[in-house]
C-alpha cells in the first residue's frame, strides 16, 4: 500500500508540512487508542490508571488543536469556523456549570476536525481504523484475561459478552464503528482480509447483543445497497435530503416524545418506543423538567441518564449549539457527495439512527466520521484540491 501524505497541493513538497502530518497522525492514533482501551473493565476498576490515560488524552487533544492552527489560518473562512467553535464552547460552558470531563468531550467535538487538512482525507479515517483496531484487539486478547463483564439477559436467556470491555454495549459500539470503517475503506484491503475481518466483527457485535449497534449495522448495509444500486449519489434531490436529514431526525424524536405525552398507548407511539428501547418516557420527563433553552439546560454528564442522542444534545448543549452541530453534520453529508465519497453516506446515516437511542453519535471518540466536518474548510473547496492515496482510491473513477 502506497502511503502518500500531503498538506495540500501547494505544500506537497514541504518538509514541514510532511512532518506536521506524520506527527498529527501519530498523536491522533494515540488519542484514539486511549479512548478504545479506556472503557475496558480492567481500567475502569483501576481509576488511577484511567486518570493517567485521561490526562494523556487531554494532552493529545491540545497538541492536535495546536497542530491544526496552520490549516486554520489558511483563510478567513477557516478562522471564522474556528471562532464559531470557540463561541459554542463558551456558550455551553457559561450557560451551566459543566464538568471538566464533559467540556473536554465538547472540545474534541468542535475543535478536533480542524486537523483534517493537516492529516488528509480519508487518511485520517484509515489511521483511526488501525488505532481503534489495535486498541480493540489489545482489550479482547489481553485485558480480557484480567477483567471483563458478561451480563445474563433473562428475557432472551442468553449471555451478553463484554470481552474485556466495561459492558457489552461498549463492545458492541466499537465493533460497529470498526465494521463501518472497514466497509467504507474497502479499497485499501484485499477481499480476503476485508471479508474475514468484517465477518468477525459482525459475529462479535451479535455476541454483545447490543441492539442499537446490531440494527444500525443492518440499516447501514441496506442503505449502502440502495444508494449503490439506485445510484442515488448522482441525484440532486438526494444531496438536499442528506443535508436536512440530521434536523429531520431531531424533529422526529421531538414529535414522538410530545405524542407520547398526549397518547402513550397509540400503536405508532408504541412501535417507535420499542424501536428506541423504551426511551420515550425518559425523553418526555427530561424535556418537561428542563425545557428547551438557547444554552445548556443541565450539566453535560446528565446526557448519560437520557440516552436519546438528539434530544440529549438539545438539552445539554442548547438550541444554538445543537442547530450548528446538526447543520455541520448535514453539510458534511453534502460535502462527501460533492467530493464523490458517497460510500461514507451510509455510515453517516447509520450514526443518525444511533442518535435515536444513544449519545455516542455526537462523541468523536465513538463516531470518527464527525471528522468529516473538516471538509467544509477552504482546503477542500474543490475536488481537485483533495489529496488522496492515489493508488487505492480514485476520486473521479466510476462508482
| Cα gap 391→68, rounded to integer Å | 26
Contact between 363 and 35 (Cβ < 8 Å): no
Instruction: Give the pLDDT score at 399.
Output: 41
Instruction: Give the pLDDT score at 28.
Output: 96
Strands (DSSP E) along 258-329, which ranges?
none
- What pTM, to 2 d.p., does this model score? 0.87
Instruction: Give the pLDDT score at 96.
Output: 60
Instruction: Give the pLDDT score at 302.
Output: 43
DSSP 12: T
- Give the closest residue to 32 by CA, choosing from 103, 134, 123, 165: 134
**298 Cβ partners below 8 Å, 6+ apart?**
96, 290, 315, 316
Instruction: Give the pLDDT score at 390.
Output: 37
Q: What is the CA radius of gyration of the chain?
A: 21
Instruction: Give the pLDDT score at 298.
Output: 59
- pLDDT < 50: residue spans in the chain: 1-13, 98-101, 300-304, 384-399
| Cα gap 292→285, rounded to integer Å | 12
Query: In DSSP terms, which residues pair with 192 in a beta bridge?
Result: none
Q: Cα-Cα-Cα-Cα dihedral of 126, 130, 133, 135, to 10°?
A: -130
Torsion region of 163: left, alpha or beta (phi above 0 gives left; psi -120 to 50 gives alpha): left
Instruction: Give the pLDDT score at 99.
Output: 44
pLDDT in tens, 10-22: 444 478 778 888 9
Torsion region of 121: left, alpha or beta (phi above 0 gives left; psi -120 to 50 gives alpha): beta
Instruction: Give the pLDDT score at 61.
Output: 93
| Cα gap 367→354, rounded to integer Å | 10
Instruction: Give the pLDDT score at 18.
Output: 83
Amino acid at each position: 500500500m502506497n502511503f502518500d501524505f500531503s498538506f495540500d497541493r501547494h505544500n506537497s513538497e514541504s518538509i514541514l508540512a510532511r512532518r506536521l502530518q506524520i506527527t498529527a497522525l501519530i498523536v491522533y492514533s494515540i488519542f484514539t487508542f486511549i479512548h478504545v482501551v479506556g472503557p475496558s473493565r480492567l481500567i475502569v476498576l483501576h481509576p488511577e490508571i484511567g486518570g493517567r490515560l485521561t490526562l494523556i488524552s487531554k494532552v493529545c487533544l491540545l497538541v492536535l488543536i495546536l497542530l491544526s492552527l496552520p490549516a486554520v489560518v489558511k483563510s478567513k473562512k477557516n478562522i471564522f469556523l474556528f471562532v464559531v467553535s470557540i463561541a459554542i464552547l463558551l456558550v455551553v460552558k457559561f450557560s451551566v456549570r459543566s464538568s471538566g470531563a464533559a467540556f473536554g468531550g465538547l472540545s474534541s467535538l468542535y475543535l478536533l476536525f480542524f486537523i483534517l487538512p493537516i492529516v488528509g482525507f480519508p487518511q485520517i479515517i484509515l489511521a483511526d481504523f488501525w488505532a481503534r483496531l489495535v486498541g480493540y484487539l489489545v482489550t479482547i486478547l489481553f485485558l480480557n484475561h484480567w477483567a471483563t463483564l458478561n451480563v445474563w439477559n433473562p428475557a432472551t436467556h442468553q449471555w451478553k459478552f463484554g470481552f474485556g470491555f466495561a459492558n457489552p454495549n461498549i463492545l458492541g459500539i466499537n465493533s460497529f464503528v470498526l465494521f463501518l470503517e472497514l466497509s467504507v475503506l474497502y479499497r485499501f484491503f484485499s477481499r480476503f482480509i476485508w471479508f474475514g475481518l468484517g465477518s468477525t466483527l459482525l459475529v462479535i457485535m451479535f455476541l454483545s447483543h447490543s441492539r442499537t449497534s446490531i440494527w444500525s449495522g443492518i440499516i447501514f448495509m441496506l442503505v449502502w445497497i440502495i444508494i449503490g444500486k439506485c445510484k442515488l449519489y448522482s441525484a440532486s434531490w438526494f444531496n438536499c435530503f442528506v443535508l436536512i436529514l440530521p434536523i429531520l431526525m431531531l424533529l422526529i424524536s421531538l414529535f414522538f416524545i410530545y405524542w407520547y405525552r398526549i397518547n402513550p398507548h397509540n400503536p405508532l407511539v408504541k412501535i417507535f418506543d420499542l424501536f428506541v428501547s423504551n426511551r420515550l418516557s425518559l425523553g418526555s420527563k427530561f424535556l418537561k423538567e428542563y425545557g428547551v433553552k438557547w444554552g445548556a439546560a443541565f450539566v453535560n454528564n446528565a446526557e448519560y441518564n437520557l440516552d436519546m442522542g438528539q434530544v440529549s444534545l438539545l438539552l445539554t448543549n442548547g438550541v444554538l449549539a445543537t442547530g450548528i452541530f446538526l447543520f455541520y453534520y448535514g453539510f458534511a453529508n453534502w460535502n462527501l457527495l460533492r467530493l464523490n465519497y458517497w460510500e461514507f453516506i451510509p455510515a453517516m446515516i447509520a450514526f443518525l439512527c444511533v442518535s435515536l437511542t444513544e449519545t455516542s453519535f455526537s462523541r468523536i471518540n465513538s463516531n470518527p466520521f464527525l471528522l468529516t466536518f473538516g471538509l467544509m474548510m477552504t482546503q477542500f473547496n474543490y475536488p481537485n484540491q483533495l489529496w488522496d492515496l492515489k493508488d487505492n482510491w480514485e476520486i473521479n473513477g466510476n462508482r
